[in-house]
Amino acid sequence: MDTSGDPCVFCDVVEGRTEASVAFRDDVVIVIMNGNPVNPGHAVVVSRTHASGLEDLDDEVGAHMWCVARRVARGLRRCGLRCEGVNVWLGDGEAALQEVFHTHIHVFPRFEGDNVVFDADCEPRNRRLLDQEALVLKEAMKSIAPIATP
């Protein structure tokens, strides 16, 4: 449930106030088919608890979401829909193209000639710059609680 007071389409789906084509549900997530799919079979793993982004997401819920996303990907390869590969995508924040501010993971089949384009101008980075970036990230991560391991 979205506690911000703003309407949240995924909270509405989770609560049954909005129709959705449900592929899977448990106590932690719901998997729905995307109404504007990249390709047929495009599914979205949605946390049942509202978390606007990764910063707000409980570690255990996030880990479960990943496990379910992986299971969806495996299912796409077996279900009979055209699927020669799978993309798993999560946008966290407006700059990362997140449109619905309720944490969710897209899982969609890919195949040769599907016209899906990811366009980035990636350039090789100097090792010294990579080392500097690693150091500042390492320092920032020290302030975050460690991941619980099984």
- The tokens describing 104, both together, are 């969710």
For residue 131, pLDDT beyond 90: yes
Q: Mind listing the pLDDT tens digit for each residue in 24-43?
A: 999 999 999 999 999 999 99
Q: Encode pLDDT of 76-97 as tens digits.
A: 999 999 999 999 999 999 999 9
pTM: predicted TM-score of the whole model, two decimal places: 0.89
Tell whether 137 is covered by a domain.
no
Residue scoring higher pLDDT (147 or 80): 80
Contacts of 71 (CB under 8 A, 6+ apart): 24
Domain containing residue 33: 9-116
H-type alpha helices, 3-126: 9-14, 59-78
Percent of the chain with pLDDT over 90: 84
Distance CA 131, CA 146 (A): 22
CA distance 17 to 8: 11
Alpha helices by DSSP H, 1-143? 9-14, 59-78, 127-141
Query: Domains in the chain: how many in total?
Result: 1
Q: Is 122 inside any structural domain?
A: no
The CATH number linked to 77 is: 3.30.428.10
